[in-house]
Amino acid sequence: MAIDRITGGRPLFGTVEVQGAKNSVLPILAATVLARGECVLRRCPDLSDVRASAAILRQLGAKVHREGDTLTVDASCLTGSEVSDQLMREMRSSVIFLGGILARQGEAVMSFPGGCELGPRPIDLHLKALRALGAYIQEEGGALVCSAPALTGCEITLALPSVGATENIMLAATAAKGTTLIVGAAREPEIIDLQNFLNAMGAQVRGAGSSVIAIEGGRPLHGVEYTVMPDRIVAATWMCAAAAAGGDVELCGVDYRQLSTVSAALTEAGCTVTSTAERVRIQSAGHLGGARMVRTAPYPGFPTDAQAPVMAALAKGCGVTVFVENMFEARYRHVDELVRMGADIRVEGRVAVVTGVPRLSGAKLMCTDLRGGAALLVAALSADGESILEGLHHLDRGYERPEETLRALGAQVERIEES
């Protein structure tokens, strides 16, 4: 078991090259099963979720090789269409392979996905959409048994702008005869990245970033070299770390427009945020005020993945901030751990009221999910004394060697492997 030992109270200074986006590379990896050739993915972060995706690809018969931040996938000769229960349980995003496998193999067998426990996240939107395209899907003993001898394009209206469902439809529709329209599609930047990757392979997809996406199916798809977009949530986390601990940090390679809602909240709380085309700089005295109500919403609203780190940054200081979590029911699991550090946070349903306190104290803390773990890391950096952070397997799902990044900025963070 690994733990992080963090000694807080040190301001952060320096420059960070932001890693590739987890929420972009996972659907892109699923899309590589469509290519009858080699795909070379650059800026591919070394995360446990990425390793799980690579294991799924190997189980399907693809060849996968990593060298530095480049991952090479050759799915020319897929031999399988079944994903084991063990691999499905490792991450929620494993369900994104369903559309790609059906499109390539005409059949798929997988169990229901695992991942962070953030409350109900049913995949009914995925299954309904795939059925509309012509897939036959049965649920047998906790497994999905799917076949798609022929897929036909159609208009699919999503009741909610689900990112995963939008991506699964995009992948399956590349093999469908005719045109598929996704109405009410998710608008996240990662959807645009997936569209760009598919088009680079020879697909014809347009409209990503808007609520209507059109996919012309039936085109042969080939291998490609592609660079994954930077991770806007990781960038937001490092912004929150600098805001909480104080200092002056510049993030490189990020699109400031994707961080506008987080930047606005931190600016209102007393930070100075300046941006250029691909850089964001944050300066903070480390003792923040409150912000206006933070209300999570689908993109371009405030990202639910950034809610916990921003809450941790605003826990120390003065002023009151009200958070309203509209996306997931269990997004406040980090609150009890922050309260152990001395934070004043009251939760009722989907609303959390954060009253800034003069100081936080180091404590023994447990990560319960990916972004909650990031929030505890942020809080520990601003706390007095030493914190011990456990449950790092959650953190490793989305952050590539975070201790090294923070030490380079001047933080005192050490990962210790315990027997």
Q: How many residues does the chain have?
A: 419
**Contact criterion met (CB below 8 Å) for 185 and 212:** yes
Residues annotated as catalytic (active site), given as ranges: 116
Question: Once rounded to an integer, what is the mean pLDDT over residues 207-219?
Answer: 97
**Cα–Cα distance for residue pair 393/94, rounded to 1 Å:** 17
pLDDT exceeds cutoff 90 at 375? yes
pLDDT score at 104: 96
pLDDT score at 406: 98
pLDDT, tens digit, 9 for 90 and up, residues 118-156 = 344 468 899 999 999 999 999 887 788 999 999 999 999
Question: Once rounded to an integer, what is the mean pLDDT over residues 194-221?
Answer: 98
* Contacts with 29 (C-beta within 8 Å, 6 or more apart), sequence order: 41, 50, 53, 54, 57, 71, 73
pLDDT exceeds cutoff 80 at 26? yes
**Cα–Cα distance for residue pair 102/133, rounded to 1 Å:** 11
**Cα–Cα distance for residue pair 208/383, rounded to 1 Å:** 42
* Contacts with 228 (C-beta within 8 Å, 6 or more apart), sequence order: 20, 21, 24, 25, 28, 41, 42, 43, 44, 193
pLDDT exceeds cutoff 70 at 261? yes
pLDDT confidence bin for 116, thresholds 50/70/90: very low
Q: Which of helix, strand or coil describes residue 364?
A: strand
**Residue-averaged pLDDT of the chain:** 94
pLDDT confidence bin for 88, thresholds 50/70/90: confident
**Contact criterion met (CB below 8 Å) for 13 and 411:** no
Distances (CA, A) of 190 to 24, 95, 176, 366: 5, 16, 22, 29
**Cα–Cα distance for residue pair 215/148, rounded to 1 Å:** 18
Question: Once rounded to an integer, what is the mean pLDDT over residues 355-384?
Answer: 97
pLDDT score at 221: 97
Buried b (16+ CB within 10 A) or exposed e, 79-91: ebbbbeeebbebb
Picking from 315, 316, 282, 311, the residue whose alpha carbon sits closest to that of residue 296 is: 311
Reported for 126-129, long-range contacts at CB under 8 A and 24+ positions apart, including other chains, are 126/95, 126/98, 126/99, 126/162, 126/164, 126/165, 126/168, 129/156, 129/158, 129/165, 129/168, 129/169, 129/172
**Cα–Cα distance for residue pair 302/42, rounded to 1 Å:** 28
Q: Which amino acid is at 182?
A: I
pLDDT confidence bin for 112, thresholds 50/70/90: confident
Buried b (16+ CB within 10 A) or exposed e, 159-187: eebbbbbbbbbbbbbbbbeebbbbebbbb
pLDDT confidence bin for 419, thresholds 50/70/90: low
pLDDT exceeds cutoff 80 at 377? yes
pLDDT score at 159: 94
Question: Once rounded to an integer, what is the mean pLDDT over residues 56-70?
Answer: 97
pTM of the model: 0.96
Question: Which residues make beta-bridge pairs with 248?
Answer: 13, 283
pLDDT, tens digit, 9 for 90 and up, residues 298-321 = 999 999 999 999 999 999 999 999
Distances (CA, A) of 367 to 149, 249, 267, 395: 44, 25, 27, 8
pLDDT score at 89: 83
Angle at 374 between CA 339 and CA 297, to 5 degrees: 90
pLDDT exceeds cutoff 50 at 115? no
Phi first, then psi: what are they for 318, rounded to 5°? Answer: -135, 160
**Contact criterion met (CB below 8 Å) for 60 and 22:** no
pLDDT confidence bin for 328, thresholds 50/70/90: confident
Of the chain, the percentage scoring pLDDT greater than 70 comes to 97
* Contacts with 106 (C-beta within 8 Å, 6 or more apart), sequence order: 81, 147, 148, 149
Provide the edge-to-edge strand list for the sheet that holds 179-183.
155-157, 179-183, 212-216, 204-206
Extract the tokens encoding 131: 């059925």
Picking from 231, 292, 302, 304, the residue whose alpha carbon sits closest to that of residue 262 is: 302
**Cα–Cα distance for residue pair 79/73, rounded to 1 Å:** 14
**Contact criterion met (CB below 8 Å) for 18 and 254:** yes
Distances (CA, A) of 328 to 117, 279, 307, 333, 349: 10, 30, 11, 11, 11
pLDDT score at 34: 98
Question: Once rounded to an integer, what is the mean pLDDT over residues 194-217?
Answer: 98
Of the chain, the percentage scoring pLDDT greater than 90 comes to 89
pLDDT score at 71: 98
